[in-house]
């Protein structure tokens, strides 16, 4: 059975400006607070695979939890039940993918550069190499910067639109913007993924979430996905 979750910023122990459920060790927060927050996820921390995200299109396959974040990685894939994959964000799109029948899951960090560069189809292709099929994959696109508030220069919006059609938007101020979730959802549909769940929360305007654009120095929320040990054939 596939399991997934997205976190928000409430419910942790970190002090401002990381208050309170900051899950990122790389943002300047007290490491002990981050460890305490990760222990509150309801998942054994030793089962979780984290990434050192660098806005690349690098996908790595893992068969066991790692003691340290995977270096220079923006998507991670596994076919091992019980291994929990995690992605950290504070405006970028956390993309979680899973094929329950094949027991293959992926967690993807889709910021502007990675999304435009093809990180999501690269992760999907890696899943297929492990036995997944696009038509069986479920996709979850979590809280992220929304098209009404993610303002970018017109040239940048046009560049992203060329490789990620459907992502260019108009903000609430009437300026050029990006809606990466819309573009990624269209990309997934074109790849054959039929079940796509898109969270509508806009991290830039919604104070329930960390936002680098809104706050600068801040924490990170997470998306986690895994295939429950011993239950991968339960498709209810």
Neighbour count for residue 175 (Cβ, 10 Å): 13
pTM of the model: 0.95
Residue 234 confidence (pLDDT): 37
b/e per residue, 134-160, with b = 16+ CB within 10 A? bebbbbbbbbbbbbbbbbbeeebbeeb
Domains defined for the chain, CATH in brackets = 2-227 (3.60.140.10)
Residue 233 confidence (pLDDT): 39
CA 76 to chain centroid = 10
Span 175-207, pLDDT tens digits: 999 999 999 999 999 999 999 999 999 999 999
Token digits of residue 42: 């309801």
Whether the CB-CB separation of 177 and 120 falls below 8 Å is answered with: no
């Amino acid at each position: 059975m596939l399991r997934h979750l997205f976190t928000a910023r409430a419910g942790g122990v970190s002090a401002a400006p990381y208050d309170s459920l900051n899950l990122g060790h790389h943002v300047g927060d007290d490491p002990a607070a981050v460890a305490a927050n990760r222990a509150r996820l309801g998942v054994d921390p030793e089962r979780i695979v984290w990434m050192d995200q660098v806005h690349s299109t690098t996908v790595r396959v893992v068969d066991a939890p790692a003691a340290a974040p995977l270096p220079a990685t923006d998507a991670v894939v596994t076919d091992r039940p019980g291994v929990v994959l995690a992605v950290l964000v504070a405006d970028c799109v956390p993309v979680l993918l899973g094929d329950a029948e094949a027991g293959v899951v992926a967690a993807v960090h889709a910021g502007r550069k990675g999304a435009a560069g093809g990180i999501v189809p690269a992760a999907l292709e890696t899943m297929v190499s492990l036995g997944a099929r696009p038509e069986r994959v479920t996709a979850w696109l979590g809280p992220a910067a929304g098209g009404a508030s993610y303002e970018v220069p017109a040239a940048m919006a046009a560049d992203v639109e060329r490789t990620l059609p459907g992502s260019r938007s108009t903000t609430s101020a009437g300026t050029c913007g990006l809606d990466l979730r819309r573009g990624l959802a269209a990309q997934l549909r074109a790849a054959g993924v039929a079940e796509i769940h898109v969270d509508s929360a806009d991290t830039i305007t919604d104070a329930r979430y960390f936002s680098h654009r809104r706050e600068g120095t801040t924490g990170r929320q997470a998306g986690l996905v895994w295939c429950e040990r011993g239950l991968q054939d339960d498709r209810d």
